[in-house]
């Protein structure tokens, strides 16, 4: 079986796939012929259009589910019809900008559930599928704020630091089963999440980045793909994609 044919027998699950990095990752895997399972929380119409587009252009099968990935019952339902999974991409995430003292417990728990609990839930169901076959890749989308922290983004930074630690620990747990767990730590990527910044704020950010620009979702997607094609000895790594910023 050649590599192209092999990809057509593989399945990838991508959370938060309706836009930005998740959408770019979905297209990158579709281009290789992977079968897709895509989720998002609210954007049913957008995700349906992505499904239609990828199936038409690349001839892949694409299943979509709308729901809260930070809700255990939704993830349980999502995996109820999954009997084989080669790659899991934990991309879903939300941000919160503001003083910690102004943050409500509800806001805190919401970001923890979406950014960190969801990674536990998806891995809880994906790992047995991979262990049974002694094969699999888990890639978590993280942030540079997970390692150095960001003022006014304490909750977001805490979740991404948690994702990094989760990645390293689970990689050790699953290495004997030939399952690789890595994370991609993103700098400023040109997505909707970062379009909250004013023109002046964007320019100030770019001035700090040696690459002199924001990254693109497609660049992150290419790094994710490369992690699916690395030797099995590469695991437990946090790969930083930030244009030399941090």
Residues 6+ away with beta carbon under 8 Å from 107: 96, 155
Q: How far apart are CA 221 and CA 223, in angstroms?
A: 5
Run of H or E residues at 35: strand 35-40
Q: How far apart are CA 181 and CA 174, in angstroms?
A: 8
Residue 45: count other Cβ atoms within 10 Å of its Cβ.
10
Q: How far apart are CA 48 and CA 54, in angstroms?
A: 10
How would you label 171-190 residue by residue, b for 16+ Cβ within 10 Å and e otherwise? beebeeeebbbbbbbbbbbb
* Of residues 230, 185, 191, the one with CA closest to residue 20: 191
**Distances 45 to 15, 19, 29, 64 between C-alpha atoms, Å:** 16, 12, 21, 11
Q: Is 196 helix (H, G, I), strand (E, B) or coil?
A: coil
Q: Residue 120 is encoded by which pair of tokens?
A: 């536990």
- Catalytic positions: 156
Residue 94 DSSP label: -
């Amino acid at each position: 079986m050649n590599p192209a044919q092999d990809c057509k027998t593989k399945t990838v699950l991508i959370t938060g796939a309706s836009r930005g990095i998740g959408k770019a990752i979905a297209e990158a895997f579709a281009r290789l012929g992977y079968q897709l399972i895509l989720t998002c929380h609210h954007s049913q119409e957008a995700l349906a259009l992505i499904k239609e587009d990828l199936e038409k252009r690349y001839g892949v099968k694409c299943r979509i589910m709308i729901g809260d990935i930070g809700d255990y019952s939704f993830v349980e339902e999502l995996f109820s019809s999954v009997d084989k999974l080669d790659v899991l991409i934990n991309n879903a995430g939300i941000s919160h900008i503001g003083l910690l003292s102004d943050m409500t417990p509800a806001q805190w728990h919401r970001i923890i559930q979406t950014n960190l609990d969801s990674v536990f839930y998806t891995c809880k169901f994906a790992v047995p599928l991979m262990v049974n076959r002694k094969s699999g890749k888990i890639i978590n989308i993280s942030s540079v704020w997970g390692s150095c922290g960001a003022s006014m983004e304490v909750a977001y930074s805490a979740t991404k630091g948690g994702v990094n630690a989760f990645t390293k620990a689970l990689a050790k747990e699953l290495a004997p089963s030939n399952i690789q767990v890595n994370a991609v730590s993103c700098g400023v990527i040109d997505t909707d999440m970062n379009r909250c910044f004013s023109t002046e704020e964007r320019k100030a950010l770019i001035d700090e980045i040696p690459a002199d620009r924001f990254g693109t979702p497609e660049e992150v997607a290419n790094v994710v793909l490369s992690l699916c094609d690395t030797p099995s000895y590469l695991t437990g790594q946090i790969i930083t994609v930030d244009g030399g910023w941090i």
